[in-house]
Structure formats: C-alpha cells, structure tokens
C-alpha cells in the first residue's frame, strides 16, 4: 500500500496529496480490510492520473495537416467539419480569383476558396488527390481546396514559433510555424477575414 501512495504523490499536486491524506485519515475511523484500503487508493490514483493527462493536453493543439503546393499547412481540428471529394462547383461571376465558386453540402451553399491563390502559393493544378475541407466557426463556413490531406496530429504550443512577416507575406494568417516548416493557420482569423465574405465586385 505504501508504494501506491508514493506513486500518487510523485505524479500529482500538493492539493491532491492533501486530499489523499485526508481520505487516509478518515479510513482510520472505519474497520476495513487491507485489500479494500488498497483498492480505494488505487481507484483514487486512476482518477488523478486521468485528471493529470487532461491537464497536459491543454498545452497541445490537435491539428489537421494538409499540403498546398510544396508547403505543409495545418489548422486546428475543431474548425474542420468535413473532408470530401470535390463535387460540382458553380462559378460566381464578379468575385475575386481565389473564389472557385459554390457547392451544395447538406442543402447549404458553401463558398469554395482556393487557398493557393489566396495565400499566393504556386499552383500545380487539380489532381485526384485534391480534397475539399469544410471549415467553420460561429460566424462563417467555407470550403478550402487542398492538394492532399495528410494526417491528424498533436503539437505542443511551444513548438510553434511566430513566422517573421518579412519572410512570408501571408504570415498574418498563421498562428506560427514549426521547425519542420509546418505553417499553422489561424482558423478564426481566416474565417473572420473580410475577404471570406463572398460578394460581387462591380
């Protein structure tokens, strides 16, 4: 039993340790077997371990990684609502060149944005690997054209560095960039940008 208690103390805060010791003190007033006492401490240890893991995840971002041209990009998974094959697009006249058109998704018209043109990334044209990624926040929903959707990954916040503005004219749309040159898009900034509101240019 002592080894179980020491394990808890090493992995948890002083506040949690005090709670455990209070439980141990209360147990002394009841007649329970050693095996029951051990099981109570083990269950407490399991709950505290889950709490510890949950707190550690707040330092990470869950990202969807994708390719645009030769560059790797990512966006927080909480913004990504669907990844799908490109269906029929209906062009919208008198709109910026990065607006490919609109598509129908579950009875909703979704504007489709070519991020290559929006971010001034060289285009390679459409291939079978292209996917439409539907992203949304509380105020806007759009589809962005990607070349390849690669994977979902976790990334520590401190692994993301602010991108120097003089190296990339589109840096205002990034949370930052990693040492592996993964550009992490700022989902809210992108979706709330005035250019995402598709309207005719007269």
Residues 120 and 29 in one domain: no
Residues 158 and 106 in one domain: yes
**What is the residue range of 151's domain?**
61-196
pLDDT digits (tens, 9 = 90+) for 100-147: 999 988 888 899 999 888 888 877 667 777 889 999 999 899 999 998
Contacts 24+ apart (CB under 8 A), 185-192: 185/73, 185/74, 185/75, 187/75, 187/76, 187/78, 187/79, 187/135, 187/137, 188/79, 188/137, 190/75, 190/135, 191/79, 191/135, 191/136, 191/137, 191/139, 191/140, 191/141, 191/142, 192/137, 192/139, 192/140
Q: What total of structural domains would you count in the chain?
A: 2
Residues 104 and 162 in one domain: yes
Of 25, 40, 57, the residue at which a domain comes to its end is: 57
Residues 87 and 25 in one domain: no
pLDDT at 7 (0 to 100) = 35
Counting every residue, how long is the chain?
Answer: 202
Higher-confidence residue: 136 or 25? 136
What is the 8-class DSSP label of residue 90? B
In a domain, 202, yes or no: no
Residues 66 and 158 in one domain: yes
What global pTM score does this model have? 0.66
- H/E run at residue 161: none
Residues 135 and 175 in one domain: yes
In a domain, 201, yes or no: no
Give the domain CATH number at 77: 2.40.50.180
């Amino acid at each position: 039993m002592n080894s179980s208690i020491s394990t808890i103390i090493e992995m948890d805060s002083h506040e949690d340790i005090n709670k455990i010791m209070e439980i141990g003190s209360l147990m002394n007033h009841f007649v329970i077997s050693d095996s029951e006492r051990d099981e109570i401490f083990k269950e407490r240890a399991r709950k505290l371990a889950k709490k510890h893991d949950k707190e550690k995840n707040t330092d990470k971002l869950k990202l969807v990684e994708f390719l645009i041209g030769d560059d790797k990009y990512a966006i927080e998974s909480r913004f990504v609502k669907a990844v799908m094959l490109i269906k029929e697009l209906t062009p919208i006249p008198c709109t910026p060149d990065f607006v490919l058109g609109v598509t129908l998704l579950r009875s909703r018209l979704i504007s489709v944005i070519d991020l290559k043109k929006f971010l001034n990334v060289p285009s390679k044209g459409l291939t079978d690997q292209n996917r439409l990624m539907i992203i949304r926040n509380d105020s806007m929903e759009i589809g962005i054209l990607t070349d390849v959707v690669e994977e979902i990954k976790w990334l520590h916040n401190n692994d993301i560095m602010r991108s120097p503005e003089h190296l990339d004219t589109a840096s205002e749309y990034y949370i930052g960039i990693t040492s592996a040159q993964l550009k992490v898009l700022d989902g809210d900034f992108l979706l709330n940008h005035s250019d995402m509101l598709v309207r005719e240019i007269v």
